Amino acid sequence: MRKKVIAGNWKMNMNLHQSQKLVSEILNGLGKDSKADVIVCPPFTSLSEVNSLLKSTKIKLGAQNMYYEESGAYTAEISVDMLKSVGCEYVILGHSERRVIFNESDELINKKVKAALVKELKPIFCIGELLEQRESGETMIVITGQIEKGLEGITSDQMKNIIIAYEPVWAIGTGKTATPQQANEVHLFIRELVAKKFSPAVAENLIIQYGGSVKPENSGELLSQKDIDGALVGGACLKADSFLSIIASA
Ligand code: PEP
């Protein structure tokens, strides 16, 4: 049985004070018997303080990006060691906003995935098709390419430390959600692809999150699908109430 994993991607929101307030509200509202694992991914500037608030709690900390080099003249970039030193256990990689707005290629994302895994930082590896790709029937081709290139050179053993987030780009921040059936169809396809590329056991244990306008009104049905093991939540994670409702529905 795979445990559900709910992650909140705060994106470029929340200054330090707002971050402390939000995480305190989430901690206050989270029942002790929460069945799902919870990850919060604040902006870099809040990681250290949020980490202090999360000490001895069940909520895990993630970052939203990193660079693959260890150190050096890479102005404004952040290394794996830096993220680990402020308590990060996870890092979101390959988010569609990084791919589309910042032109991140599959090859760059693959370098980041490898660098994270070598130092035991767990990637939440995001994949998903654009609207025109879905409409022209290319969804599975796009997904296959992103997995083949993004996970190139990754071992079956390392796959234990990866979460895949399927996020159809047309559903991110748009209010449009894939139907539970549309989402599950792609999740099943991803699992079968991973079974072929790695092994059936790796695929069976792999957490595949859905992301794209997940909110309390639709999370229960999405999360009840057989191959949907959690959610990567954007907009709805910025309010404690809605994030907590999504967690409770898992
Ligand atoms: C995301 O940024 O990963 C995301 C899914 O955003 P939203 O929930 O706002 O669509």
Res. 197 pLDDT band, cuts 50 70 90? very high
- Residues noted as catalytic: 95, 167
Nearest atom (ligand 1) to Cα of 11: 2
pLDDT at 12: 98
What is the rounded (10 degree) CA torsion for 172, 174, 178, 179? 140
184 close to ligand 1 (CB < 6 Angstrom): no
| H-only helix segments in 131-210 | 131-135, 139-150, 156-159, 180-197, 200-205
Say how many Å lie between the CA of residue 95 and the centre of ligand 1.
9
pLDDT at 72: 98
pLDDT at 32 over 80: no
Q: Which residue has the tokens 């022209």?
A: 136
200 close to ligand 1 (CB < 6 Angstrom): no
Nearest atom (ligand 1) to Cα of 236: 8
- First-residue to last-residue Cα distance in the chain: 14
User: Could you tell me if 110 and 152 are in contact, meaning their C-beta atoms sit under 8 angstroms apart?
Assistant: yes
pLDDT at 235: 97
Say how many Å lie between the CA of residue 92 and the centre of ligand 1.
12
pLDDT at 33 over 80: no
Q: What is the pTM of this model?
A: 0.97
pLDDT at 173: 86
94 close to ligand 1 (CB < 6 Angstrom): no
Q: How does pLDDT run across 119-140, given as a tens digit for each residue? A: 999 999 999 999 999 999 999 9
Nearest atom (ligand 1) to Cα of 231: 5
Q: Return the best residue to mutate from 6, 10, 11 for the ligand 1 pocket (most ligand atoms within 8 A of CB).
A: 11
By alpha-carbon position, which residue is closest to atom 8 of ligand 1?
Answer: 234
Per-residue pLDDT, averaged over 101-130, amounts to 98
Per-residue pLDDT, averaged over 132-150, amounts to 97
pLDDT at 234 over 90: yes
What is the rounded average pLDDT for all residues in the chain?
97
**163: phi then psi, degrees, rounded to nearest 5:** -110, 135
∠172-175-181 over CA atoms, to 5°? Answer: 80
Per-residue pLDDT, averaged over 77-92, amounts to 98
DSSP element (H, E) containing 115: helix 106-118
CA-derived radius of gyration, the chain: 17
pLDDT at 194: 98
173 close to ligand 1 (CB < 6 Angstrom): yes
Say how many Å lie between the CA of residue 73 and the centre of ligand 1.
32
Per-residue pLDDT, averaged over 6-23, amounts to 98
63 close to ligand 1 (CB < 6 Angstrom): no
pLDDT at 31: 78
pLDDT at 187 over 90: yes
Per-residue pLDDT, averaged over 152-173, amounts to 96
